[in-house]
Structure 1
Amino acid sequence: MKKRTLVTILSLGLLTISSAFAKEKIDFMFPAPVDGKLTMEMTRIIKEFNQSQNDVEVRGIFTGDYDTTKMKAEAAAKAGQPPALAIMSANYTVDLALKDAILPMDDLFKYSKDSVSATDFLVNNFWPAMHKNAQLMGKTYAIPFHNSTPMLYYNKQLFEQAGIKQPPQNWQELIDVAKKLTDKSKGQWGIMLPSTNNDYGGWILSSLVHANGGWFNNPDYPGEVYYNSPTTKGALQLWQDLVYKHEVMPAGVLNSKQISANFFSGKLGMAFLSTGALGFMRENTKSFDLEVAMLPEKERRGVIIGGASLVSFKGIDESQKKAAYQFLTYLVSPEVNGSWSRFTGYFAPRMAAYDLPEMKTYLDNDPRAKVALEQLKYAYPWYATYETVSVRKAIEDQLAELVNNKKYTVDEAVQNAQQKADEIMLPYQNATSLKTDK
């Protein structure tokens, strides 16, 4: 009897000890396919975090592209299994906050040992160009993780063969250079722009609109876009003219894989792609020198911030919030954020990452990585609206029609896009009275 009692006591004691040291398990959603180098690198980061401490165990869930990640995270939340942390396209923050789907970051930052608020952490540690896409009405709902701007990638060998001394600085030079680089007898194109409706087309288009001196949307009111403005028309007309008037870009919707394949084969002179593609482009360009430059200007320099932020979905308990805070601050630490930047080509939104010796060495060894940072002084917030995805696709679908149909006019495109976008945003417009002109 005494032996049984002793065994029971020891068992209970072991259970108590085991319970005391059990890790809090949280789900972390990451926008990447289940295979590939980004997934492998993030898997390594998660493993190192899990092994570095005894409080939290992170389970990585790799979810596909940004749009798919948003859908899967929202579905998991509705099913009662919200991710404690997710890397979400930075321009989804406003829509998710409007839907009351994500937590204000202060719900996590209350576990900060030095009682710093999420807004103070954001403002004091991240590039100013990132702040707008992390907030709604002054409240912080996201913390930047990796960011990008579109850049001009070009084949230095083709430039030299065509006698081109420098990358184009404005739209007219872009057209002139693209003409010199185009040789249809060789299947060689002067330029390619991604026009898919998975955010690439809208992202590049919005940068062109800003370079044309306009605004793509109202950054202070999530219910207003300017698809039928003269500056948007001008950007769309340039895009269609590159295909049908100047014949320097193939017709049809182009995705980033098609563009990069043409570039690697030496059959493409220039491309507009994300700085987040720099690692991939750098690694796969073998037979010629790859160079990058700022996007050409029209009325001004102007690019749109892209990339992703960390958000936390509503429905997690306090222990999960504490665990999410611990993993979040690990991911955006200068060391991890800098390492991820060097691996991927995204620039690190955490400013202190660039103070590290390894980051300085990286930039010295590859000055191409500096271009995205140099463009920050000309960067504008990513478009973020009520029902961002649907509103964005309203213009991307029209862009697709313009590059597929020579007879389709820009006037038709912007009228249809504006009408569709306004219909989608009408519930929000009716519910608010903050609409202003830009």
Structure 2
Amino acid sequence: MKISGWMLLMGGVAASGGAWGAQAIDFMFPAPVDGKLTMEMTRIIKEFNQSQQQVEVRGIFTGGYDTTKVKAESAAKAGSPPALVIMSANFTVDLALKDEILPMDELFKFSADKQSATDFLQKNFWPAVQQNAQVLGRTYAIPFHNSTPILYYNRDLFQQAGISQPPRTWSELAEDAKKLTNKDKGQWGIMIPSTNDDYGGWMLSALTHANGGNWSNDNYPGEVYYDTPSARGALQFWQNLVYRDGVMPAGVLNTKQISAAFFSGKLGMALLSTGALGFMRDNSRDFTMEVAMMPVQQRQAVIIGGASLVSFKGISEAQKAAAYQFLTYLTSPDVNGQWSRFTGYFAPRMAAYDTPAMKDYLAKDPRAAVALKQLQYAHPWYATYETVAVRQAMENQLASVVTDKSRLVADAARDAQRQADEIMKPYVAQTALKQP
């Protein structure tokens, strides 16, 4: 029998591993939508560990996406880099530019058929999720779960208000929200999360694209388009919902506030992630919840969200081999499909939808197919040098326009652009051609 190089490597380091002589690896994962996701991921890790004896995965829950990045970077700097991390998909560029993560071929060299990571990515994953996994043509991540923003709505409230179908345009959304708002009952027409933990930026970027513009340069991580007509228009639409139309409460809204209002029957519509579908479905018990595609202004458009698997530099060859084994388990059609059905994220692995379990799931709950329908209109998630700080430059200004009626959108967009440009200045200077 031919013994693979991976088996020889794993056998040679067994003594240095954890339980059962297995190679131990640290796996960091966030649960940004609902606490039940932590329990489900713990179950998946346990099943993997019990399914074989070569690798022992130590799961480390790390909170939200932003804190996961901080904790993973801190662990790497302290000399204990995680072998795998479920990382926000738009952090891949920044991590690769800083030389903190491995090119995925460092893991895929342990594949039995020597398949490259890029080949694996391009053959097995939806085209819409691939760009966020690559940096300057090289694959640094493998998608694990993905999302798009979608419209959640209370069909019972729609019927009471005489609304026959979900809004298809921004103007229809505003008009429907007016019909759904009843301040005497404490009932609001629409809520959109505006926090600076990426939800506000993600939603605003989707609205900017729907308004015919771009949020950033998809091919150059040193350029954003905050002070443009399309971005200003999206920002103005958001502020108008609060102060002109009076259909959304003033101030920064987080997802807990929005879901609580929705579940209590005091909210007609919400723009949230399809990754929240499982949570929203489980808790909308007293009325019929439906979902629809994002409303259009100039064009149909959404932004890809979610997370990918990355591996930090500094791990051993044995840990790379172990990380490869667990990565391929997590992204297998069966496991990727299980996670999708539990959470509401759509599975980035296309073959997950060919499994009998997924076909049965979609037949029973067509709401889960809305995110897939939107993929034809999807754009990559914005990813820049210092993504978090650049994103928050606009998110902080978003907070100002929904908190202060007198805050001019033009001033907010200008200030966001200036701050973002200042943050990206080192990268722009680094990549600029020197004059002869």
**Normalization by structure 2: what TM-score?**
0.95
Map 1:5-24 onto structure 2 (within 5 A): 22-24=21-23
| Aligned residue in 2 for 1:363 | 362
Match of 2:239 in 1: 240
Of residues 29-38 and 51-60 in structure 1, the stretch that sits farther from structure 2 once superposed is 29-38
Partners of 1:26 and 1:96 in 2: CA distance: 20
- Shift in alpha-carbon separation, 1:39–1:190, aligned structure 2, 3 A: same
Q: How does 1:363-402 map to 2 (within 5 A)?
A: 363-402=362-401
Contact (CA 8 Å) 1:202, 1:395: kept in 2 or not?
yes
Match of 1:103 in 2: 102
Which position in structure 2 is the counterpart of 1:40? 39
| AA aligned opposite 1:423 | E
Q: Mark the CA change 1:27 to 1:192 in structure 2 (over 3 Å): closer, same or farther.
A: same
* Structure 1 pair 87–114 and aligned structure 2 pair: CA distance change class (3 A): same
**1:212 positional shift:** 0.3
Tell me how far apart the structure 2 counterparts of residues 17 and 433 of structure 1 sit (CA, whole Å). 48
Gapped regions of structure 1 (runs ≥ 5): 1-15
Secondary structure in structure 1 of the residue aligned to 2:193: coil
Which structure: larger Rg? 1
1:153 aligns with 2:152: yes
Q: Which residue of 1 aligns with 2:269?
A: 270
TM-score with structure 1 setting the length = 0.94
1:221 aligns with 2:220: yes
Q: For residue 411 of structure 2, what is the aligned residue in structure 1? A: 412
Amino acid at match of 1:219: D
Seen in structure 2, the aligned counterparts of structure 1 residues 115 and 190 have a Cα distance that, compared at 3 Å, is same
For residues 33-432 of structure 1, the aligned pairs below 5 Å read: 36-432=35-431
Give me the identity figure in percent.
72
Once the two structures are TM-superposed, the CA of residue 36 in structure 1 deviates from its matched residue by 2.6
Q: Residue 311 of structure 2 aligns to which amino acid in structure 1?
A: S
**Does the CA-based 8 Å contact 1:34-1:62 persist in structure 2?**
no
d(CA) in 2 for partners of 1:433, 1:120: 31
8 Å CA contact 1:146–1:349 kept in 2: the answer is yes
- 1:33–1:39 contact (8 Å) kept in structure 2: no
CA–CA separation in structure 2 for the residues paired with 1:353 and 1:433: 43
- Whether contact under 8 Å (1:134, 1:143) holds in the other structure is yes
CA displacement 1:129-178 (0-9 Å, x = unmatched): 01110000110000000000000000000000111010000011011100
SS in 2 for 1:153: strand
Helix, strand or coil at the partner of 2:21: coil
Structure 2 alignment gaps of length 5 or more: 1-12
Q: 1:351 to 1:33 in 2, by over 3 A?
A: closer
Deviation, structure 1 residue 18: 6.7
Letter in 2 for 1:318: E
- What amino acid is aligned across from residue 419 of structure 2 in structure 1? K
Counterpart amino acid of 1:183?
N
CA distance in 1, matches of 2:302, 2:194: 16
For residues 179 and 205 of structure 2, the distance between their equivalents in structure 1, rounded to whole angstroms, comes to 26
After TM superposition, which residue ranges in structure 1, 4 or more long, deviate above 4 angstroms? 16-21
Alpha-carbon distance in 2 for matches of 1:34, 1:158: 25
Question: What do you get for the CA RMSD once the two structures are aligned?
Answer: 1.6
Q: Which one-letter code corresponds to 2:184 in the other structure?
A: S
- Report the AA paired with residue 330 of structure 1: Y
**8 Å contact 2:146–2:307 — kept in the other structure?**
yes
Q: Over residues 262-296 of structure 1, what are the superposed CA-to-partner deviations in whole Å (9 max), with x where a residue is unaligned?
A: 00000000000000000000000011000000000
Deviations 1:330-360 (A, max 9, x none): 0000000000000000000000000000100
- Helix, strand or coil: the match of 1:186? coil
> For 1:207 and 1:433, how far apart are their aligned partners in 2?
29
**Cα–Cα, structure 1 residues 385 and 113, in superposed 2: closer, same or farther, change >3 Å?**
same
Q: 8 Å contact 2:14–2:22 — kept in the other structure?
A: no
Letter paired with 2:160? Q
